[in-house]
Structure 1
Amino acid sequence: MALTRSRIEKTAEEYAEEEPLYPVEEEAIETYPAAFAEGEFGRRDAEWVVQWHYRRFLGAYPEREHREGEERFEENERGAVREAVLDAANAVGLEERVDRLRELEGVDLSVASAFLQFIDPERYMAVDERTWGALYGVDELNEPYPDPLSIEEYREFLAACRRVAGEADVDLWTLYRALWRIGRDGKESNGTF
């Protein structure tokens, strides 16, 4: 089934109505871009992004990996976290932004993409097996989710997201919500779910 504007909008609405983290995500999408760019954020804001990355799966993410990821991030010094997030928010290119974030303990490319979604939701989207799988399931990506994910593969994911969003005339945040629900349902045609 194609990712039409009506399907994306309908599924994104379902996300807003049914996903328990939606209210805090929506607030973060509205406030974090400016806060991260201007340095008007605290460590807990950065920790929230890491926690969101794991906890949005609502228990479906392996508990051990979830705890290890969050604990590794907590090892970072307060100043290092602030500097890395501020630098990433004000960097120009994708690679520079990702590299700066990945200097932090507990930040791999997937976690960095979560930061990028809240740093600049108009240009970036968090990537994970579910959102990638939704695009792969409708033939917008040629390969299943790669593990580990490379920067080139994340770039490919972003290109597909931007193409779909442009064709449907929706923003990336709306598309993210739709892909999350579609990927959760796992009903796409090519049998990847």
Structure 2
Amino acid sequence: MELTRSVVESKSAEYRAREPLYPVEQEGIDIFPEMFRTGSYGWRDAEWVVRWYYRRFLGEVPHEERQRIEDQFATNEFETVRAVIDDAVSAAEDTAAIERLTDLAGVDVPVASAFLQFVDPETAIVIGEREWTVLEEADELSAPYPNPPSVREYERYLDTCRELAERLDCDCWTLYMALWRLWKS
């Protein structure tokens, strides 16, 4: 499979038309970047990102596993969450942002990448086995999904996605939607 601009355009349009979470995701994409940059968010906004990471699979992640992680995140003090997100937003490097976010209970590299996506959907993209697998099958990545991915592996994935987005003249949010639908194909 070759990833082309027309494939990304058609698959991202398919995502917008068919994915049941798209309306609330798009709302998050529209409002969270500003909220996270200015600090004008509440506990539920940060919690939403953690919940979204697992709930986007629409039940494929066992309830007990998802609930355990959400409960872990709930043990963080809000002021700690705010300080960590502020540090991630102002980090000069993506690696530093991911490392700082993983200081929170319930946040591993994939969940941290979800925060980055909602901080800057133009240039950041969430990591997961689905998205990685599509890129591997398209010969954009050369190794299978590392479960769980390290910060370094996320950085390699993010660099690949950014290069691909630039080549295909799209933002990372559009690329994410296309990769998600391509996995389902």
User: Which residue is 1:190 aligned to?
Assistant: none
**1:14 aligned onto 2:14:** yes
Which blocks of at least 5 consecutive residues in structure 2 are unaligned?
Answer: none
Shift of 1:62: 2.4
Secondary structure of 1:147 counterpart: coil
User: Which residue is 2:23 aligned to?
Assistant: 23
Identity of aligned residues (%): 49
CA contact (8 A) 2:133 2:145 kept: yes
CA distance in structure 1 between the partners assigned to 2:132 and 2:64 by the alignment: 23
Q: How many residues align?
A: 185
Structure 1 segment 59-138 matched on structure 2, within 5 A: 59-138=59-138
Partner letter of residue 160 of structure 1?
T
User: Which residue is 1:155 aligned to?
Assistant: 155
When the two structures are superposed, what TM-score results if normalisation uses the length of structure 1?
A: 0.93
- Which aligned runs of 4 or more in structure 1 are off by greater than 4 angstroms? none
Structure 1 segment 131-146 matched on structure 2, within 5 A: 131-146=131-146
When the two structures are superposed, what TM-score results if normalisation uses the length of structure 2?
A: 0.97
User: Which residue is 2:54 aligned to?
Assistant: 54
CA distance in structure 2 between the partners assigned to 1:64 and 1:137 by the alignment: 31
Which blocks of at least 5 consecutive residues in structure 1 are unaligned?
Answer: 186-193
**1:183 aligned onto 2:157:** no
CA distance in structure 1 between the partners assigned to 2:82 and 2:161 by the alignment: 29
CA distance in structure 2 between the partners assigned to 1:103 and 1:17 by the alignment: 36
CA distance in structure 2 between the partners assigned to 1:34 and 1:92 by the alignment: 18
Shift of 1:184: 2.5
CA distance in structure 2 between the partners assigned to 1:151 and 1:76 by the alignment: 21
CA contact (8 A) 2:95 2:152 kept: no
User: Which residue is 2:172 aligned to?
Assistant: 172
How much is the aligned-residue C-alpha RMSD, in angstroms? 0.9
